[in-house]
């Protein structure tokens, strides 16, 4: 249950718009609020191209994941991007690093990043 409090001097349309936005954001799954991705494996989010079996690493906002917020899972200071991932029994070759793929890492938190030779595009 959500409770909304708005300043009464706001126009009715503005109050309604703000309430609607809050309801929509509350009802969306985290993956819809977060950057769009198909699968999340070992601290990395990927968009999958199912026609040619390739994958792109994309941004993931760890602050929206309760396990990271509560400290149940911690971000590693070293990331090794794999050359392949498997989703639902299908193998995908990791061929790209998307724009701002690591933007949610705090400054200085990522000390080492290893990329496989399969990555042919960055950004």
Q: Where are the domains of the chain?
A: 1-33, 34-122
Which is higher by pLDDT, 4 or 118? 118
| pLDDT at residue 35 tops 70 | no
79 in Cβ contact with 44 (< 8 Å): yes
| pLDDT at residue 15 tops 90 | no
Tokens of 13: 């349309």
Mean pLDDT of the 26-45 span:
66
- Helix (H), strand (E) at residue 57: strand 54-58
Q: What is the DSSP letter of 62?
A: G
**Does residue 8 sit in helix, strand or coil?**
coil
| pLDDT at residue 9 tops 70 | no
Full-model pTM:
0.68
Specify which residues 45 forms β-bridges with.
40, 58
Helices (H) and strands (E) in the chain, counts: 3, 8
Q: Which residue has the tokens 């009464």?
A: 8
pLDDT band at residue 75 using 50, 70 and 90 as cut-offs: confident
pLDDT band at residue 19 using 50, 70 and 90 as cut-offs: very low
Give the C-alpha separation, 55 to 59, whole Å. Answer: 13
What is the per-residue pLDDT for 20? 43
Hey, how many other C-beta atoms are within 10 angstroms of the C-beta on 59? 17
């Amino acid at each position: 249950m959500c409770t909304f409090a708005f300043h009464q001097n706001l126009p009715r349309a503005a109050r309604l718009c703000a309430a609607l936005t809050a309801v929509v954001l509350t009802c969306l799954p985290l993956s819809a609020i977060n950057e769009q991705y198909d699968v999340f494996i070992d601290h990395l989010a990927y968009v999958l191209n199912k026609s040619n079996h390739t994958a792109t690493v994309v941004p993931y906002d760890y602050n929206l994941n309760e396990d990271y917020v509560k400290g149940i899972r911690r971000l590693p200071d070293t990331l090794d991007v794999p050359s392949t991932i498997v989703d639902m029994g299908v193998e995908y070759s990791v061929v790209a690093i998307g724009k701002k793929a690591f933007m949610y890492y705090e400054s200085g938190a990522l000390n080492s990043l290893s990329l496989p030779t399969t990555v042919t595009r960055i950004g």
